[in-house]
Amino acid sequence: MARDWQELTKLTDGAHIEIERVRLIEADVAVEGHFELPPLAQLSAEDQVFVAAFVRGHGSIKQMEKYFGVSYPTIKNRLNKIGSQLSFVEIDQSPDMAPPTASSDVLDRLARGELTVAQALERLKEKS
């Protein structure tokens, strides 16, 4: 039963579904009506696993890179794709929370050891 959600997610293949009956096992109570799945449950099975891995890894992109064997940009793109599907949480896009710039990307790559200081300085000069 622990993996039934994965089977349900595969079965629905992204189609909109509605739950009509919910049973609370401990209380032996059933509620009938029309219920939508929570937004996280509406993600594909693969995206649900990705989100779970991200949370279990405390949001470490470096751990995600190792776990999934893909690059930093791939992880960021996947997070952006999943985030766009989760509109129930609105993120403040004030200047303090602005999306990363090309300069911050260069600095991130420098911090991860993907660029040398000289390479980072050269790329920053190109950007300005």
Which tokens is 43 given? 């993600």
SS3 state at 27: coil
Q: What is the mean pLDDT of each run of 10 residues along the chain (128 residues)?
A: 62 78 93 88 88 94 93 92 81 55 77 82 78
Stated pTM of the model: 0.57
Q: Cβ neighbours of residue 9 under 8 Å, at least 6 residues apart?
A: 41, 43, 44, 45, 48
Looking at residue 4, what is its pLDDT?
66
The pLDDT of residue 28 is 93
pLDDT for residue 1 = 46
Three-state SS at 57: coil
Answer yes or no: are the C-beta atoms of 5 and 43 closer than 8 Å.
no
Q: What is the pLDDT of residue 91?
A: 62
**CA–CA gap between residue 79 and residue 95 (Å, rounded):** 21
Tokens representing residue 110 in the block: 């420098």
* pLDDT recorded at residue 19: 86
On whether the CB atoms of residues 127 and 103 are closer than 8 A, the answer is yes
> Rounded to whole angstroms, how far apart are CA atoms 108 and 102?
10
